[in-house]
Structure 1
């Protein structure tokens, strides 16, 4: 693959100053880029170009200027802030995931910075779980409602752990959850107590164990409503893949990468994704 030089922020400032009609979209990564491109195909909007943030040179100094850490999301936000000083009716958009930010009141308002309606772009496909796991994956699940409730319960617990970590600024190093999951009938059983125990030991945070558990309990009680607002995208994808395999489905497609390719392929059927940049 040919590598092209990354554009500087100064170049982009000039680009939109002299061509304000350009309807460019900047997203966090290549996967997000592919999703948006396919969505736009479904609307016939060939004039909108989608760029992954890696095509822009957002320096460490720029991130430091705004008190942002490294990472694609932070670079998109930094770009939005740098371009926000431009005047006029500009059309470009910078798009980022909500992640945990909405629960801490951190959805900042910056001109032409758009937040997804879900925690992350993967959650727009949340309504397709049965289609993927049971229909395409041929998982042996009889009562899908029971499966779905347990599926959401596991993801909610994992999200509450991350909220507690963020609240206490512990910077936890996480573990894969596969060995703590079991398929029982039509239900996913998650040994959360053992997972937390090992997580605390792994990260040497026994000194704040009680406060950590209290924070988890608080967040777990707080999370309510639309599951798409309290599920981490990566956890969602991994649990879908695990479910196909654990419930004796088609093992050849029981992988996170297979599910991701499905999402790209079917993205044009999910116009709601474009709602944040309408």
Structure 2
């Protein structure tokens, strides 16, 4: 912690994982060698520190715990250029204020992948990454994904609201043939999910909570995205049209979308405005 007191020119960002680090390093390209981006695994954070902030043991929990520790150890008399960044996930809905702190920032939407989800980026992805092989316009493509994505997000949010620590499944196993305009079968997915987690007795609770949350969810689809679900659904949608199966893997889909994001467009979002100010890019 004393590093920031003796070397105030250092600017550090801490993120959950490698894909987040690569994306943010790209956005901050040109900021100088004093600007660094670290992953959660680069810092040793004991489990008791994670428990103290009420998070699960994992990348997000470690980053939140680090931000909490920074706030305790670095007094408020000086300004330090360090920021811990985590996916908002359900925080904006379930805990809108509890995780705000001087050294912690949450994504403007549910996750980093949410920044990839706009028509301009999707058009570029369909044209350059997939060479126009998928015969759908960007808005049609997005509508097909969003219909399933919203249902999945509501299930995840309902489970979190009820304190159910479920093991989740690939949603494409409950999706029909996109060429036949078949989509996501939420009822079938829920049946398989409850079976996998031996939780049939919670079905009524889950369905009731989903209906309740559906009434209060906003309209912006970027607030209903789970990163892995998004990439798996895109993989499902493009698979019938793409011969090269490497292009349909979840990891390649995620990286391809990230490559299609324009740096200039990211400058409009509050999180990245804050990051660029810290990195002295503005």
Structures share a fold, TM > 0.5?
A: yes
SS at 1:174 equivalent: coil
Q: 1:68-217 residue pairs with structure 2 within 5 A?
A: 68-85=55-72, 86-87=74-75, 88-107=78-97, 108-127=99-118, 128-133=121-126, 135-137=128-130, 138-142=132-136, 144-185=138-179, 187=181, 189-217=183-211
Pair 1:200–1:251, CA change in 2 (3 A)? same
Measure, in 2, the Cα distance between the counterparts of 1:175 and 1:271.
31
Say whether 1:30 aligns with 2:18.
yes
Please report how far the alpha carbon of residue 248 of structure 1 lies from its aligned counterpart in structure 2 after TM superposition: 4.4
Q: Do the aligned partners of 1:244 and 1:250 also contact (CA within 8 Å) in 2?
A: no
Say whether 1:56 aligns with 2:43.
yes
Measure, in 2, the Cα distance between the counterparts of 1:224 and 1:60.
35
Say whether 1:45 aligns with 2:31.
yes
Q: Do the aligned partners of 1:63 and 1:70 also contact (CA within 8 Å) in 2?
A: yes
Higher relative contact order, chain-length normalized (CA < 8 Å, sep 6+): 1
Q: Do the aligned partners of 2:125 and 2:260 also contact (CA within 8 Å) in 1?
A: no
Please report how far the alpha carbon of residue 185 of structure 1 lies from its aligned counterpart in structure 2 after TM superposition: 4.1
Measure, in 2, the Cα distance between the counterparts of 1:188 and 1:141.
16
Please report how far the alpha carbon of residue 251 of structure 1 lies from its aligned counterpart in structure 2 after TM superposition: 3.4
Say whether 1:275 aligns with 2:269.
no
Measure, in 2, the Cα distance between the counterparts of 1:147 and 1:183.
14
Measure, in 2, the Cα distance between the counterparts of 1:266 and 1:134.
10
Q: Indicate the larger mover: 135-144 or 81-90.
A: 135-144
Measure, in 1, the Cα distance between the counterparts of 2:83 and 2:136.
44
Please report how far the alpha carbon of residue 116 of structure 1 lies from its aligned counterpart in structure 2 after TM superposition: 1.1
Deviation digits for residues 45-90 of structure 1 (CA, Å, limit 9, x no counterpart): 1231111121111011222333332011111111111111312111
Q: Do the aligned partners of 1:26 and 1:76 also contact (CA within 8 Å) in 2?
A: yes
Aligned length: 264
Pair 1:185–1:135, CA change in 2 (3 A)? farther
Counterpart position of 1:6 = none
Please report how far the alpha carbon of residue 223 of structure 1 lies from its aligned counterpart in structure 2 after TM superposition: 2.1
Measure, in 1, the Cα distance between the counterparts of 2:95 and 2:236.
33
Q: Indicate the larger mover: 31-40 or 143-152.
A: 143-152
Counterpart position of 1:66 = 53
Q: Do the aligned partners of 2:123 and 2:137 also contact (CA within 8 Å) in 1?
A: no
Q: Do the aligned partners of 1:133 and 1:243 also contact (CA within 8 Å) in 2?
A: no
Deviation digits for residues 231-264 of structure 1 (CA, Å, limit 9, x no counterpart): 1111111212222213446534111221233245
Measure, in 2, the Cα distance between the counterparts of 1:186 and 1:268.
33
Say whether 1:18 aligns with 2:6.
yes
Measure, in 2, the Cα distance between the counterparts of 1:140 and 1:94.
38
